[in-house]
Structure 1
């Protein structure tokens, strides 16, 4: 038994409630949260409705004005305290990530570390210069400064629920905004309520952060609300398109972090054993349920069979099972719908000519890590984002052909180049259409200090990380001042 087997014995503050600065019941009643690995009920949370969105927006607008007037050091203090609390007890998040999202324990602890880094970066963001002096053709002071947007709506996903919520929540708060967070209903604790509990304990003033678990009606109300000028959404590309369409008539600032079908390019001079290790991590980590997952392995024709065999051996060796057992490297996919979609993509691709080298089977929600070879370019395993533990291997003959294959996807999130000549790969990066290119590393990577985001169908509207977060969660205001009132010929 481990501390992550199930929910704590004591009843959490948030049990059966939503958060608006205080823990309270909602008009929508409650819902049970189940562990995908076992079907066990691990928590009961409140269910918000559209009326809760209205109440939260009104309260957030009021609280935000006072928060924006605080000195940067007072705002920073909250994030520093939250970081210290989590560093002292990462299990306060890990204990929910493992059962609720099906995270392996290593992945869950890694995610807790990302939260600590994000909180530290948010503290630093409060003291960033908020503007600059400009030259002017007139005898005056001319400056541009960043001002808060007001209320930021955040809609976060299930896969890395804690960090993909906090990476919007923390910088938005640091920039002087209030935030309304709607976590995925499958992961409302690790994706929202546990974060609210942490920040409240760290001294975040009441009314600045609201956590509203619920269904699509809550997200739709948040997107449509006239007093929420910014929406930050992380999720699938189809859902992002729908949000962008709904927000466009309201002229909202919309930040969309969407899907990916990321290429891992193995050049002919790469160490194949090391490449297979990177490829396995990139495709199978957290059951492949990551937007940055390596979805297409492009290997030179002379090495494709050897690489695929090494990758398949690693897939076959990975233990899959209940993630509360530390021996299991991989846990379950999130639900039956996702499992069936993964299996459909695998089966249809095999029917079109792909060869199953490993996996392709499941037990309940536990899908075996899968390797496909000889994958046709028009098969779903190559053309679509699988969002599961599937590694399609495709052979190429020339580097030019490989670059065309990399760029052939509608997505542009993350690309990996594995090679013995890193400088040559750096030059290749100029030809790649992607928000990130990692040389001699796999595709799954993120740091709180780095600007993260995609191009093409992988996202639009801004970046997460470092100063880029300030651009995303603030507005530019131009201010001028001169000693005398300007006289004009009228």
Structure 2
């Protein structure tokens, strides 16, 4: 299927051209070629879409569990039938490797598969003890209403679908805005899948637009009950302020400064294997990517030498080449930002063990060693193929440095003592800690989310069910109640 023709917003079951006089060129970040030119949707179109979603949700909420499951099963069928074309779009649109693209499709399908378990939650009624004679207390879960979904450019399909599939499975409607840089992977392909699946009109809507057109309207609509956002912490804080003022719920997955800790008893070779993957998959452009390598002093030199040797071998270049691991950053601005991080760190005296090179938006890996944990370099979310290695004096010192950050998304600990490793994992101030693995992990049936400034709420079943439904208490007085006055 030629997904490049999907250059319009999907509103009320129709592919509608944006009314703005402005357009956006969706470019391949590797070679700069224009994949599609999008006429952006306007504020008026967005406001109309929220009303459409509100009305559609009222009907969708009445649909049976089987109806919802049938739609989700057809979405999975669409992905299976079009997998090769979807992988190609992900590589060309995001700059991700073929490996990354396949992982993203697998994660997306896994999310929809898990969502198949959710419609039945709306049919469950829990009875709880009553403190009044002849009363029955029942607890129901009801759809929340309209959910606002805003997704980023890095894993656009996966990070969109983890909101969209549960929301629809639980009887909600969705107004979704992908990053225009990944309009197809993050929005239009998802819309096409639900169109193929026969989802009723208006239940899922995908708006192709930008902030210059709509401002904060995605956040401020009175018809939306929850804002789901994945992106930077500053934007997340802005969303939190608006949502708080309107008493809206939020599901926020924000920035990270994820530590990879190698303890005194760790197997260094295994740690290096994990470190390479956790740092360089998708050029480090993942919220969960390893940001700081914190290595016990007994293993420090060995780890540095083996890590640098492995990094030198990483294939860099055209992401459509199946051999490529590190492709381009998403755009010139991100490449400039990464280059500035490197130059600023050098000026501050950081030691370079491996120097990267830039060609267009492609930046080959750079490795800094002997980094101070309190340095600007170590305290910056790098979001690029830049590695920082820090020496720890002891295991306790490693945990202390790991926690010395305002962020707390993901983390990893390498150790041969699994019992002690689990106890130390509980001391790391992050929403997720992985023992003898790297930091980039996600499954549809685990509580995915961060601590501190890395976010609020949890994705994954069953935690997302609580986020995306309203809990309602209904009491039934079976016999007339006598009142004290």
TM-score after normalising by structure 1: 0.95
Secondary structure, in 3 states, of the residue corresponding to 1:69? Answer: coil
Deviation at 1:348, TM superposition (A): 1.8
How many Å separate the matches in 2 of 1:151 and 1:357?
A: 51
Residues 291, 11 of structure 1: CA spacing in aligned structure 2 closer, same or farther, 3 A cutoff? closer
Are 1:302 and 2:294 matched, yes or no? no
> 1:486: which partner in 2?
481
Alignment of 1:59-70 (within 5 A): 59-70=52-63
> 1:52: which partner in 2?
45
> 1:162: which partner in 2?
157
Deviations 1:23-66 (A, max 9, x none): 11221254321101010011233411211111111111111111
Secondary structure, in 3 states, of the residue corresponding to 2:38? Answer: strand
> 1:390: which partner in 2?
386
Are 1:127 and 2:120 matched, yes or no? yes
Are 1:178 and 2:173 matched, yes or no? yes
Are 1:27 and 2:22 matched, yes or no? no
> 1:189: which partner in 2?
184
> 1:292: which partner in 2?
288
Deviation at 1:246, TM superposition (A): 2.0
How many Å separate the matches in 1 of 2:9 and 2:178?
A: 14
> 2:263: which partner in 1?
267
Are 1:136 and 2:130 matched, yes or no? yes
Secondary structure, in 3 states, of the residue corresponding to 1:243? Answer: helix
> 1:361: which partner in 2?
357
Deviation at 1:198, TM superposition (A): 0.7
Deviation at 1:92, TM superposition (A): 3.7
Cα RMSD (Å): 1.5
How many Å separate the matches in 1 of 2:72 and 2:230?
A: 22
Alignment of 1:56-135 (within 5 A): 56-128=49-121, 130-135=124-129
Contiguous gaps of at least 5 residues in structure 1:
1-7
> Relative to structure 2, which stretch is displaced further, 358-367 or 292-301?
358-367
> 1:441: which partner in 2?
437
How many Å separate the matches in 2 of 1:38 and 1:485?
A: 76
Indicate conservation of the 8 Å contact 2:9/2:207, yes or no: no
> 1:247: which partner in 2?
243
> 2:197: which partner in 1?
202
Indicate conservation of the 8 Å contact 2:4/2:35, yes or no: no
Are 1:347 and 2:343 matched, yes or no? yes
Residues 328, 12 of structure 1: CA spacing in aligned structure 2 closer, same or farther, 3 A cutoff? closer
Deviation at 1:285, TM superposition (A): 0.7
Indicate conservation of the 8 Å contact 1:309/1:357, yes or no: no
Aligned pairs, number: 481
> Relative to structure 2, which stretch is displaced further, 345-354 or 318-327?
345-354
TM-score after normalising by structure 2: 0.96
Indicate conservation of the 8 Å contact 1:342/1:388, yes or no: yes
Alignment of 1:402-421 (within 5 A): 402-421=398-417
How many Å separate the matches in 2 of 1:450 and 1:112?
A: 18
Deviation at 1:359, TM superposition (A): 3.1
